[in-house]
Structure 1
Amino acid sequence: MKPACRSRPFQTSLPLPGSKCSMKTIGLSLLDAETLLINDFTAGLKAALKPNGTVSLEFPHLLQLIAHNQFDTVYHEHFSYLSLHAVQRILQVQGLRLWDVEQRPTHGGSLRVYALHADDPRPTTAAVAELLATEQTQGLLDLATYQAFQPRANRVKNDLLAHLIDQQRAGRRIAAYGAAAKGNTLLNYAGIKPDLLPYVCDAALAKQGKYLPGSHIPIRPPEALRDEPPDEVLILPWNIAEEVKAQLADFAEQGTRFVTAVPGLRIH
């Protein structure tokens, strides 16, 4: 998306003078979290949508973030962390309404919502009311739910630090896999530096030879694992842990252990 569109999406959604352009279907994946002016953005969706059109939006679900302690998904390019209640209100303000919702496994648990113009005759599906009720039951409307989130994040930090220190004292070699944004959030929050985690491997050529911001942990190609076989690999992008384990299956056969830190410390 061009910078102008990211900053003023409503203006860029308006048709050119003399144009009758509008859209029957608008589909956007994982965009709302990265939208700074969310009300302006939603107004742009309404302006661009045909009278009988449908909007589809997919974004990480706040309920899953809270329930599964996914604090490491909070980082600079995400401006919002949305519940279905919040999305319902945002749509209503701009003359749209929820029509349907699907729960999806992407990014640790996401929602795909479908919205219509407020006066569209299509009836709202039962899934909307069911998920709204679930959010309320799970405490998303209660301040105490959010106040309890910080201690859970602290526990992840403390458990990971204690584990890395124990492994170092035992003389075990440790490396990390995946120079992902969520991993960088975790490492900086825990204050982990190269003295505890010597390097992280990543298959992306653009990242190799550089350093993780803040922690200054060097990023090396996956082949580094074969040069210095570790006793343990910390998988930072926990949402693709099974995929990473499959890629490194031969290390497991040689005794290498895999570890994830979120939602809690787990040795695979």
Structure 2
Amino acid sequence: MSQPVSMSGPRPGRCRVCDADVVEFLDLGAQPLSDAFLTPKDIGHEFFYRLAVGRCTGCTMVQLMEEVPRERMFHAEYPYHSSGSSVMREHFAATARRFLDTELAGTEDPFVVELGCNDGVMLKTVHEAGVRHLGFEPSGSVGRLAAESGVRVREAFFEESSAADLRRREGAADVIYAANTLCHIPYMDSVLRGVDALLAADGVFVFEDPYLGDIVERTSFDQIYDEHFFFFTARSVRAMARRAGLELVGVERLPVHGGEVRYTLARAGSRQPSPAVAELLAEEEARGLADPRTLDAFAERVARHRDELVALLRRLRAEGRTVAAYGATAKSATVTNYCGIGTESVSFVSDSTPAKQDRLSPGMHLPVVPPEVFAKARPDYALLFAWNHAEEIMRKEEDFAREGGRWILYVPEVRVV
């Protein structure tokens, strides 16, 4: 294994939102790039960094202690496809229809901009409605898929300069949207200045990302990996928005991806905040989400879950049971590397994404195989890395359970079902 490489931000230990001190509360050790699936010739040349998380003593924003350069994560071979799940396809189609029916209804020549449009799964519905749009997507491979479906794509990162250029060329955006993207971006100041440059006077900036409250409640520590730099709460988002002249005017809890919140920001004074904002802020206060003791307790549970999962896999191996894994997700890199799960515990990982198949998982080098191999091998147990799609996957793999196969889950607790 390569030695960890430290790639800190410009001021280590300082908040990337407000510049206050950031106090570390969880260290998940040396980790590889979560989506860097390898060929055999890549072994020995992997990039590693220290995956640690801290809490800002000022704005309370929870964030990684070290930044991985964005070009290492989002590039031409980026393998994640937003449309890979039927649940997510419907989620994004419904999101687009909601914009069309509410924010954009009655607007003359509306304009929708998406940060990190991936394969265009949301903007495709906007395009089919004949609405002017543009998706920023720095990862060329998925961006090309979006373009093939008719979506307008700019292969670039969204930041102040690219947003200002777009405003000059095409005017203000009525809706700026991002899904599972904003939490990826350490240079938040530039992004928010870009939003300020591009957003119409009465427009909205809507983004949805994993919610720290759900991560803490479910001990879903695998939501922490290189691509997730920030872990939002309503309180920290409100503080972040205010620094940019924006206001948090809406929040909505979402069940996707293991628990997310959709935040709606608008220019200060342009809209009345919904009652849901005050309600979620009060709930976070009652739960102590900004209390260091809450986060320390979370870190203790993470270590306990690691020990329980490792003990279970060792016991099954001692009993002669066969174990495979299901879902070569980005978050599985955190689990396998933090827990030291290699081929002595898990034979392979089944995944339906062609770009990941016949490769090795980051760090621990588990073979990634197509679902047909899983169907043929019929292991005794399957460790479900894609637990956020458990219902969809278990419905798809009914034959596995019917023939005696059992699922291993580790969120919200380590258990066999």
Instruction: Provide the TM-score with structure 2 as the length reference.
Output: 0.61
Aligned partner of 2:89 in structure 1 is none
Specify the code of the residue in structure 2 equivalent to 1:239: N
Count of matched residue positions in the alignment of Structure 1 and Structure 2: 266
Are positions 1:207 and 2:343 aligned together?
no
Aligned partner of 2:245 in structure 1 is 95
- Distance in 1, Cα, partners of 2:203 & 2:347: 53
Q: CA deviation at 1:243?
A: 1.3
Q: Secondary structure at the match of 2:208?
A: strand
Alignment of structure 1 residues 16-165 onto 2, 5 Å: 19=169, 21-120=171-270, 122-165=271-314
Aligned partner of 1:231 in structure 2 is 380
Given candidates 385, 394, 401, the residue that maps to 1:245 is 394
Are positions 1:13 and 2:149 aligned together?
no
Q: CA deviation at 1:5?
A: 4.5
- Distance in 2, Cα, partners of 1:48 & 1:193: 47
Are positions 1:182 and 2:318 aligned together?
no
Q: Which stretches in structure 1 are left out of the alignment for 5+ residues?
A: none
Q: 1:16 to 1:167 in 2, by over 3 A?
A: closer
For the 8 Å contact 1:15–1:21, the answer to whether it is kept is: no
- Cα deviations by residue, 1:169-226 (Å, 9 ceiling, x for unpaired): 1111111111111112101100111011111111111111111111111111212223
Q: 1:170 to 1:212 in 2, by over 3 A?
A: same
Aligned partner of 1:2 in structure 2 is 138
For the 8 Å contact 2:167–2:198, the answer to whether it is kept is: no
Aligned partner of 2:367 in structure 1 is 218
For the 8 Å contact 1:156–1:263, the answer to whether it is kept is: no
- Distance in 1, Cα, partners of 2:357 & 2:138: 27
Q: 1:217 to 1:16 in 2, by over 3 A?
A: closer
- Distance in 2, Cα, partners of 1:18 & 1:227: 56
Specify the code of the residue in structure 1 equivalent to 2:405: T
Q: CA deviation at 1:16?
A: 6.2
- Cα deviations by residue, 1:102-122 (Å, 9 ceiling, x for unpaired): 1111111111111111131x3
For the 8 Å contact 2:166–2:198, the answer to whether it is kept is: no
- Cα deviations by residue, 1:73-102 (Å, 9 ceiling, x for unpaired): 111112111111111111111111011111
Q: Secondary structure at the match of 2:295?
A: helix
For the 8 Å contact 1:179–1:212, the answer to whether it is kept is: yes
- Distance in 1, Cα, partners of 2:156 & 2:393: 35
- Distance in 1, Cα, partners of 2:287 & 2:192: 27
For the 8 Å contact 1:39–1:90, the answer to whether it is kept is: no
Q: 1:189 to 1:18 in 2, by over 3 A?
A: closer
Are positions 1:196 and 2:345 aligned together?
yes
Specify the code of the residue in structure 1 equivalent to 2:161: Q
Aligned partner of 2:113 in structure 1 is none
Instruction: Provide the TM-score with structure 1 as the length reference.
Output: 0.94
- Distance in 1, Cα, partners of 2:168 & 2:392: 51
Of 174-183 and 223-232, the range deviating more from structure 2: 223-232
Q: Secondary structure at the match of 2:230?
A: coil
Q: In percent, how many aligned pairs have the same letter?
A: 33
